[in-house]
């Protein structure tokens, strides 16, 4: 349970703290996920797709990093 104390009648700061705490504890995400019933098979399917996208992004990042390092190495060789 999230609680925030209001100090010196500063309601704006208390609201900001409250929102930050909600984000940190993923309360809003859980609320949105539980709004409607999701069959276990569909939940598993959604998680698999999410992991596939994550792996694809990581692979693309590694590929980009390799290309950048290759580019840096060719520049160092040209400077010599």
With a threshold of 0.85, does the pTM exceed it? Answer: no
* 53 and 28 part of one domain: no
Among the listed residues 2, 47, 6, the one whose alpha carbon sits nearest the alpha carbon of residue 22: 2
Between CA 67 and CA 54 the distance in angstroms is 20
What domain count does the chain have?
2
* 9 and 27 part of one domain: yes
* 3 and 25 part of one domain: yes
* 23 and 48 part of one domain: no
Chain segment 48-73, per-residue pLDDT in tens? 999 999 999 999 999 999 888 876 76
* 50 and 32 part of one domain: no
Between CA 66 and CA 28 the distance in angstroms is 38
Mean pLDDT along residues 8-18:
89
* 48 and 80 part of one domain: yes
Between CA 68 and CA 6 the distance in angstroms is 50
Domain that holds residue 31: 1-36
């Amino acid at each position: 349970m999230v609680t925030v104390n209001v100090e010196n009648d500063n309601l704006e700061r208390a609201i900001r703290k409250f929102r930050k705490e909600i984000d940190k504890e993923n309360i809003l995400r859980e609320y949105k996920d539980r709004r409607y019933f999701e069959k276990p098979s569909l939940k598993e399917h959604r998680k698999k797709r999410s992991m596939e996208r994550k792996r694809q992004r990581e692979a693309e990042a590694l590929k980009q990093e390799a290309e950048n390092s290759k580019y840096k190495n060719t520049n160092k060789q040209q400077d010599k």
